[in-house]
Amino acid sequence: MINDFLGQPSPENVPSAEYIFGPNIAKDGPCCCVCNPKELPKVPDALLPEKVEEGRARTGITKLQEFIEPKLRQWRQTRWKEHWSKVEGVPSWLGIAYFFRSEDVASVVKNLGKIDKALGAGQDDAVGDYVQMEAKSVVQPELTAWLKENIGTYDAEREKEREQQKAEADRRADERARSRAEERAAKKAQRASQAAASGNGTAGGSAVASGSGTAEGSGTGSGSASRPRTYSCKACRDWNAANPQAVPLIPLGHT
């Protein structure tokens, strides 16, 4: 029940570790993200829960109402001046309320979520359930067409914003990935440089100690210099041994 609430697959549908990491978990990948040059994998789409469209969220309806209401009030005034006031057979003293009342505007905005869902399902007559103007037969088809057009405009603008936000998020993710890759490369180069310097220093110290012992000849035997102990990652060494054809990992600088 918890998995269903969270939108997660049931336990019997969860893939095994062998399916995700391969048949040999111990040797299938590097030991840690420090020496792993690959990006973190993404969950396959087949393992993600299905998305269920249930209309707009409450925040989406609120934004749609804020988008539609001022335009609808302006459209009401414009239609009255340009068309409704000139309709023959309708006394002018009846005014704009005969065609489209303020109460009808408020009702449409209040029930915009239901209207949007009905229009999306092809139920164009649904608008008539929320308006009660006298000239309903004249105004309802115009109002339905206007709502469909402007809701489509709103959706197109939101989709464009989402694409821009996604592009910006992808750009930032790429920058972070490049930065991490450059940082890993710099760390590897630094560790390699330190390892090389350590090896050269040890060789030079041994040569100096040997020369000094020979020159003094005091019977103390051959001089010996203590080498600094270098720790290396056993997991990296094991991985290199198991994958001789791959680019070897640098097992220095971490444990």
Bigger pLDDT: 83 vs 228: 83
Domain tally for the chain? 1
| AA identity, residue 90 | V
Q: Please tell me the least confidently modeled range out of 27-36, 126-135, 137-146, 241-250.
A: 27-36
CA-closest candidate to residue 69, choices 105, 94, 111, 104: 105
Q: Please tell me the least confidently modeled range out of 23-32, 77-86, 209-218.
A: 209-218
CA-closest candidate to residue 241, choices 252, 249, 231, 229: 249
Bigger pLDDT: 6 vs 87: 87
Residue 109 within any structural domain of the chain: yes
Domain range for 101: 58-163
C-alpha to C-alpha distance for 24 and 27, rounded to whole angstroms: 6
What is the mean pLDDT of the segment spanning 60-84?
93
Percent of the chain with pLDDT over 70: 67
pLDDT band of 220, cuts 50, 70, 90: very low
Predicted confidence at residue 219, as pLDDT, reads: 45
pLDDT over 70 (residue 54):
no
Residue 23 within any structural domain of the chain: no
Residue 135 within any structural domain of the chain: yes
Residue 50 within any structural domain of the chain: no
C-alpha to C-alpha distance for 254 and 234, rounded to whole angstroms: 10
Residue 122 within any structural domain of the chain: yes
Predicted confidence at residue 66, as pLDDT, reads: 92
Residue 103 within any structural domain of the chain: yes
From the CB of residue 100, how many other CB atoms can be counted at a distance below 10 Å? 27
Measured N-to-C along each axis, helices 58-82 and 136-216 cross at an angle, to the nearest 10 degrees, of: 140
C-alpha to C-alpha distance for 18 and 154, rounded to whole angstroms: 47
pLDDT over 60 (residue 242):
yes
**How much is the pTM?**
0.49
